[in-house]
Chain A
Amino acid sequence: MKTALIVDDDALARRYRATSLSAAGFSIHEAANGLEALELASRLSFDLVVSTIHMPMMDGLEMTRILRREESTRTIPVALVDVGATVDLRTRVEVLLAGANLYLEGNLSVEMLQRIARLLGGVATA
């Protein structure tokens, strides 16, 4: 089974994405900020990371930069989600520079999340 790491400081948002990706065939781990995510990634291997951008302690951009620097995590697909309700060109550019595979704006439907996760995480579509 493929494994996904969901990163968000909002527990409900984590659960929303966890429920969606779980139904898409992923085993799920959760972290509440970028540092917690890096702690998990240092001892577990993941096929996909879906993270929000704005979080305390370490945001999704910095987390992605560090994942890309480390040998063991540099190829994990990362999708960064911005639910900040403001479309921001600067953030889009920063997401690309940080090395994320995908930038998602707003709250996606369960179906859309699942399609994206399957594509990025390498899960065969039913």
Chain B
Amino acid sequence: MGFVPTPKESEQGRSGERRSFKVRGPGMLLGQLSDPRPLARRWAVRDLAAFPKVAVPLLEFLLQESDASVREVIFTTLLAIGGDVVTRGLLPLLQSEDPGLRQGAVELLQQLPLDRSFLMDDLLREPEPAIRLQVVKILRDFPNARVVEWVRELLGRDQSATVCAAAMGVLAEVGDKDDVALINRVQARFSDDPYLLFASDAAIHLLEEEDVGVSQGAMELFRSFFHRKTSIVLQDLDCHWLQPLLQSEMDAIGVKGIRGFLAYLRCDPFGAEMVRLVDAARVALGEGREGLCDGPQNLCLVRHLLDETVKFKKPGEPLRLWAVNAGANGEAFALMLQVLQGWSALEKTPVSMIVSEQVPERLEVARSGVFEADVLAQLPGDILERHFTPLPGNQSYRIDKTLHDAVEFRLLDLHDSQQTRSMRGFDVIVCRGVLSRLDLVARRRLSETFFDALLPGGFLLLGVGESMSRISSLFKVRGFPESTVFQKPRS
């Protein structure tokens, strides 16, 4: 047994594999929403993103749909469609008794990139405090210059201490020193509410600090923003490493203080600046270079995940792995070597692996099987000797042909649903350092792709600092001594 080449299409007998998919019209796709299979409904909803006029029937369908996985895809499609119709259609959901619909609406309204000032004035005057509280949460990351004005007006009149306390957090990010007087008036209005007093003192503390450079207060605001956007929790030491980069990013776009920088990031939260900061944070958190080294997740794979997976297989049925964008940096081979070295059941279990790359040049590097010596530096000597051949000059090595030939390399555009829907039936997907570089719609789409590509009980391994906790609630969190991984529920 051991590593075996991925079966060819004809042998696999999977009718969906790599065939071209006929593009269907909106009428047929809407009809497919009544299909009893959630997978069919999910894909119909994904395809409907190409037809913005279906926003209204899709919003109606959202209210009837009870399957969480389909609901998530509907929210992503609505986010991709955007526009006034979607915005107005989502507003009633803020009052829904269904927490999934309510929170989904809040998340989408935070992200929809259009000017909704005409709605915000009304929403902030909603009689129900619980709705105003949700609207304040929307304002927190709302890319609009009027946010500070709305927050000030709200704080001047709102009779709910809870709503005002939440607004204090927003004001601390978007306000200035002159707002301290307003905060003092709010404190006097709610002098018996301990949390409001705490929140307003914290806001005063941050607002009174001069907004120049990356001060301690600035870093506090950035940490909170960064956590909201990426789910990466920065500790003091990480901040120490990030501080110079933050300063240089601020200098590059010409802002003096953190509030200006956060306003800039709010307008383009997945732009180049944010990607650089996320990359730097991941390095600070220990991701480092992804070479052929033994990562804790690979150990987790051979010590726990493969054994658990194989229990549900019939004898001789192969385990299927998909390593995403993991060929050119040698990550996929690191995984193979770890399995070869550390998983004793490999002798009686066939394992196949697909390595996808998004860019043809990277695919060619992956296919060549040649790695620079420094990429292999952390590899034990015996492994290097057994599985690699030095090329002339000893500056690079070629991986063993048997291992190389057991991998199927595939050019795959992760953002092309016609291509990704052929990826099915995997037991493990490894995708490191990809999600954190994508915008919200692409992240959600990719998590949906992984959900459909995994078999029930299949595992998803993400990179350091990456998490499903800001993207999708469909995966189960599994904690192991070596690492935390995500699992598609078995039922």
Contacts and interface: CB of A to CB of B under 8 A. Distances in A.
Interface of A: 9-13, 15-16, 19, 30, 32-36, 38-39, 41-43, 53-59, 61-62, 83-86, 90, 106-110
Contacts of A86: 128-130
A56 B133 contact: no
B198 interface: yes
Nearest to A106: B162
Contact of A39 (B102, B128, B196, B477): B477
B479 A56 contact: no
Interface in B189-210: 193-196, 198-199, 202
Contacts, number: 108
A32 B227 contact: yes
A41 to B, nearest CB: 7
Nearest to B128: A86
B161 A35 contact: no
B185 to A, nearest CB: 19
B283 to A, nearest CB: 21
A16 B477 contact: no
Contact of B473 (A10, A35, A39, A41): A35
A35 B196 contact: no
Given A11-B169, A86-B129, A59 B198 contact: no
Contacts of B473: 34-35, 57-58, 62
Contact of B107 (A11, A19, A56, A85): A56
B410 interface: no
Interface residues of B, number: 45
Contacts of B227: 11, 32
Interface stretch (B22-30, B342-350, B400-408, B462-470): B462-470
A24 to B, nearest CB: 15
Contact of A9 (B128, B137, B194, B479): B137
A85 B195 contact: no
Contact of A15 (B103, B128, B196, B202): B202
Interface in B440-482: 467-470, 472-473, 477-481
B228 interface: yes
A11 B161 CA distance: 17
Interface of B: 97, 99, 102-103, 106-107, 128-130, 133-134, 137, 160-163, 165-166, 168-169, 172, 193-196, 198-199, 202, 224, 227-228, 231, 233, 467-470, 472-473, 477-481, 484
Contact of B233 (A30, A38, A61, A110): A30
A43 B99 contact: no
Nearest to B467: A39
Interface centre among A34, A35, A61 (most CB of B within 10 A): A35
Given A42-B478, A59-B99, A110-B194, A12 B130 contact: no
Contacts of A85: 129-130, 133, 160-163
B130 A42 contact: no
Contacts of A11: 169, 224, 227-228
B479 A43 contact: yes
Contacts of A58: 469, 473
Contact of A16 (B102, B195, B479): B195
Contacts of A61: 99
Nearest to A72: B479
B133 A84 contact: yes
A32 B479 contact: no
Interface centre among B137, B194, B198, B477 (most CB of A within 10 A): B477
Contact of B103 (A41, A59, A83, A110): A59
Q: Which 7 A-B pairs have the closest CB atoms?
A: A42-B479, A107-B195, A35-B469, A85-B129, A11-B224, A43-B479, A109-B194
